[in-house]
Amino acid sequence: MTSTTIFEGGADADAYRVLDANGVLLEGASAPLSSEQLLEAFRWMLLSRTLDERAVSLQRQGRIGTYSAVYGQEASVVGSALALDPSRDWIFPQYRELPALLRHGMPLSTLILYYVGNPLGARPPDGVRLAPIQISLAAQLPHAVGLALGLKMQGDDGVVMTFCGDGASSEGDFHEALNLAGVVKAPVIFVLQNNGYAISTPRSKQSAAPSFAARAAGYGLPGVVVDGNDLLAVYEVARDAVQRARAGEGATLIESQTYRLYPHNTADDQSRYVSPEELEVRRGEDPIPRVRNHLEGLGVLDAAGEAAMQRSIDEEISTAIADAEAHAPANVTQVFEHVYANPWSRVTRQRDEFVRDAEGL
């Protein structure tokens, strides 16, 4: 490695920060969260990390399907979601925001059921203001703007937060959604998690723009670049964007500059496109030790406290896995249900053919 090596991902020097690399408040900065809120955030981060580890193990055992870990992006996801009020605000996710979904009210066992392959796991419970996980890149963004516009037209003070990746931002839907949001001043917050890669496509090949946030100007929106591995900074910019949206001032594009420390998903081999040197440097920017150090500095967390937190997380996850696995297995005909209120003849015919073929196997 030479001093001129440029790694993908990570936060730019001028990204907004509140904490230094060791979790100490920068000079002149003040913490936007109380110790209690910080501990809550840290628990979500730790739960997310633990869930990733357990989920990868379950995938390797054939007990769940393909899984996309949040690993490394916990501050980005949790910091954004904490700015929302689950009783009135909405989340339209991509697929790498699990702790945000949980904090917003999605039961952990339901989420695991989704990964087990049961379509019932894709459905947030009634009253939980979440759209389903979206795999089709950027398709959630126009939906988010539509719902935000609807809230505005109804005089509802809820706002919508929607997530996407740097790769998803090259889709046409991204541009259509941001353009419309700007024109109608929709109460929506776009959190673009720039984690360095879209599978193996590096950030440098994704866009020639100096930053993803810079694109916001083209739609008449404010664009903010934040260090996505700084929980406090992410929370602060998300909180401000939520306040703007709620006050009728419209949408914001937040570029949260983070890094995916794990392969794209359980079917990916990161070593094919990330050098060991790059990974080593980015591991040193892990957001979890940064918050841990901050909490220890405040005197509100110690090793025993974290161990107790970890035990309760382990138990919570084990119970949720057991609940999901105790569920009746998915029935293949479920894929034909809930597509139309009144399925038309072709769908019914396809289902019947499918069942007949499956019985013949």
Listed ranges 38-46, 164-172, 309-317, 348-356: which one lies at the site for ligand TPP (CB under 6 A): 164-172
Task: Decide if residue 195 touches ligand TPP (CB under 6 A).
Answer: yes
Task: Decide if residue 273 touches ligand TPP (CB under 6 A).
Answer: no
Residue 137 beta carbon to ligand TPP: minimum distance, rounded to whole angstroms: 4
Give the CA-trace dihedral at 330, 268, 171, 102, to 10 degrees.
Answer: 50
Binding mask 105-144 for ligand TPP (x = CB under 6 A): ------------------------------xxx-------
The set of catalytic residues is 260, 264, 273
Q: For residue 130, what are its two tokens?
A: 């979440």
**Residue 316 class from Cβ within 10 Å (0-12 exposed, 13-18 middle, 19+ buried)?**
middle
Residue 189 beta carbon to ligand TPP: minimum distance, rounded to whole angstroms: 17
Binding mask 62-81 for ligand TPP (x = CB under 6 A): --------------------
Listed ranges 115-123, 192-200, 282-290, 336-344: which one lies at the site for ligand TPP (CB under 6 A): 192-200
Residue 348 beta carbon to ligand TPP: minimum distance, rounded to whole angstroms: 29
Contact 58, 128 (CB under 8 A): no
- What is the C-alpha to C-alpha distance for residues 150 and 144, in angstroms, rounded to an integer? 10
Query: From residue 27, how far is each of 19, 31, 220, 284 by CA, in Å?
Result: 9, 11, 32, 22
Contact 90, 160 (CB under 8 A): yes
Residue 86 beta carbon to ligand TPP: minimum distance, rounded to whole angstroms: 23
Contact 180, 174 (CB under 8 A): no
Query: From residue 353, how far is each of 32, 329, 337, 360 by CA, in Å?
Result: 58, 21, 15, 11
Residue 135 beta carbon to ligand TPP: minimum distance, rounded to whole angstroms: 5
Query: Nearer Cβ to ligand TPP, position 49 or 264?
Result: 264
Query: How many residues would you count in the chain?
Result: 361
Interacting positions 303-342 with ligand TPP (CB under 6 A): none
Q: Give me the residue label for tokens 């994704």.
A: 206
Task: Decide if residue 294 touches ligand TPP (CB under 6 A).
Answer: no
Among 104, 129, 264, 292, contact with ligand TPP (rule: CB under 6 A): 264
Amino acid at 325: E
Q: Which residues bind ligand TPP (CB under 6 A)?
A: 96, 135-137, 165-168, 193, 195, 197-199, 260, 264
